[in-house]
Structures are given as structure tokens and as C-alpha cells.
Amino acid sequence: MKLLPLALLLAAGVAAAQSFPSRPVRMVLGAPAGSTIDVVSRTLAERMADDLGQGVLVDNRPGAGGTIASQAVARASPDGYTLMVSGCSADAIVYWFVMNERPPMDPFKDFIPVGRLMRDHWVVAASPAVGATTLAELVALGKSKPGSLAYPVLGIGTGQHLQTERFARRVGVEATHVPYKESPISDLIAGRLAFTVVSSGGVAPLIKSGKLKGLAVLSPQRIAALPDVPTTAEMGYPDLTYNAGICLYAPGATPRPVVQRLNAALNAASATQNVRQRFAELGVEPVQGSPEDAARFVAELMAQVDELRRAVFGKAR
């Protein structure tokens, strides 16, 4: 008799998956429209809708390092209809570990990874107005005028902030962060910001068009989207590599069959030709795999980010 409640729960989960989805699914993003994560999410959402037979809507809720979006999803009904798209290093949750002693969310309890949306390559890009055409020139400029190089931050403690701080410390430059709620690209192009360290998806088209200068990629090898941009290893910094990506999360108590159904739709979407072509234009790569694959990747990446967070802020998870 003690097994009855468990059996009922499993049966309820199977039934939920069989009828799922019966209405549109919503992806909540802690990033502004036009950002890499937004473009990637919308590209996949359109194809996922074909597989699920229901609309997949993208809901942008930028602000507070992504926690506005993540709290909305953590508090949502765990039925698969409200999902979160965030960095695989759980950027929004990282923010809370930096800013609060007792964060209101636990990335391993309040959320469950559905799957990885894509693998990205990170790039050091500079404004042409700065006058630096190589990484060495940017470093020399920064050292000659400490604090003069400004870079954008879409949330203190986010992965983008931490990686830029890591870069600046490694090359020996004192840089100044400037908080943004919306995309900082226009200010970067205009020269009001000096440089950024960001996913290639956000800057590859701008580098190709000459609006930004690609100085280095934080990958072991040059990337197909930016073949003329050298690696950090080529520029004398072999330990500055970084690859992460974007993941899809559901509330932690979401039934397993529903998570698996969403994962199947995500994998089907990422295998389509138009998704692969759009991702190639952005300089990112689709990733297929199970929820377990994504969970392992998130755990490994969070451990790496913990080390970086300790170095930058002196706080650990």
C-alpha cells in the first residue's frame, strides 16, 4: 500500500505527457530582444512549435542579472508550459550567489535542465573607435591608461561579467564595467564602450561587416564563423579558453515525461536545416542530447564558474 502514492504519481506524470502540450508553451528569457539568446530562442521556438503542435512564445524579461525571469519560472506551475532559457552556467542564479548570502533559488532544485540549445564561442571584440586592431594593442592601450577601457555588463555577476573580468585580470588590464539593461551594441559601435567579451553569436555579424573589430576568440581553434580572428592562444594566452552555451530549463518539479517530451522537440528542432544554417550565421552550434547530458554539463560548468566567482568576488556557491 505504501507504493500506491508513488504509482499514482508516475501514472499522473505519464498522463500529463500524453496530453502535453494542450496550449502554447512560453520561454522566459532574462535577456533583451535582439540579443544572442533571444535570436537563438526564437529560431528554435518556431521549429519546436511544429513538433509540439502548439505555439512556443518567447517572453523577454530582462533586468536584475536575469533573476526577474528566473524567479518567474521558479514560481510557475511545474507543468512544462513555462520554461526558462539561460546560460548553461545558470547566469541568473549565479547573480544571486554573488549578490545575496541566501539566494532565493537553488539551480539544482528549483530548475531541471531540459536540454542544451547551443554551444557558443566567446570573442573579444573592440570598437573601431578605440583604434586597437589587435589584442596586443588593446592590452597596451589599457595598461597605458588604467581604467580607461569601458566594457558593458548585462547584470553584475553574470557569466559575461565574470568572463570579462577574468580576461582583464589575465592580460593585466584595469577595465571599467558599465551596467546595461538593454543591448549595448550601439554604444560599442559608436565608441562609448571600448570592448566586450561575449558570445560570438552576438558579434560575429558585426565583425564580418566591419562595425566591430574581432581581436581574439576564446576557443582552442579558430572558428568557422570568424576564420580571420586569432585564438587567445595564438595571442599568447593559452589559458583563456571558454565555451559554454545556452540551456533550456523547466521548474524543478516538472514531471519527467513532460521534460522528455520537451527535450525531444528541442532535439528535433536543432536538427532542422534552417536552424543549423541560422546558427552558422551567428557563429554558434546546435547541441543535441538528453536531459541527463544537459544536467551533467550544467554541473561541470557551475563548478568552473564557482572558481571564477571566488576569484572575482570572494564568494562560493
Instruction: Write the pLDDT tens digit of every residue in 165-211.
Output: 889 999 999 999 999 877 889 999 999 999 999 888 778 889 999 99
Return all residues near 306 (Cβ < 8 A) that are at least 6 apart: 316, 317
User: Do 115 and 159 belong together in one domain?
Assistant: no
Cα 42 from Cα 205, distance rounded (Å): 18
What band does 103 get if pLDDT is binned at 50, 70 and 90? low
Q: How far apart are CA 113 and CA 293, in angstroms?
A: 9
User: Domain containing 279: what range?
Assistant: 23-120+244-313
Same domain, 127 and 197: yes
C-beta of residue 95 within 8 angstroms of C-beta of residue 155:
yes
How many structural domains are present in the chain?
2
Identify whether 57 is part of a domain. Answer: yes
Residues 6 or more apart in contact with residue 284 via CB below 8 angstroms: 36, 40, 118, 119, 120, 121, 199, 200, 201, 225, 245
The CA–CA distances, whole Å, from 271 to 51, 102, 117, 151 equal 12, 40, 11, 35
237 domain residue, yes or no:
no
286 and 148, same structural domain?
A: no
| Mean pLDDT (the chain, rounded) | 86
**What's the pLDDT score for residue 17?**
61
- d(Cα 221, Cα 20) in Å, to the nearest integer? 42
Shared domain for 201 and 253, answered yes or no, is: no
Q: Identify the pLDDT of residue 157.
A: 72
Chain segment 37-78, per-residue pLDDT in tens:
899 999 999 999 999 999 999 999 987 767 788 889 989 999
Cα angle 299-243-254, degrees, rounded to a multiple of 5 = 35
| Helix intervals (H) in the chain | 4-19, 36-52, 67-74, 91-99, 135-144, 159-171, 185-190, 200-209, 256-270, 273-282, 291-313
Band (pLDDT 50/70/90 cuts) for residue 91 is: low
Q: In whole angstroms, what is the distance from residue 67 CA to residue 76 CA?
A: 14
80 and 162 both lie in a single domain: no
Most confident of 145-159, 250-264, 271-285: 250-264
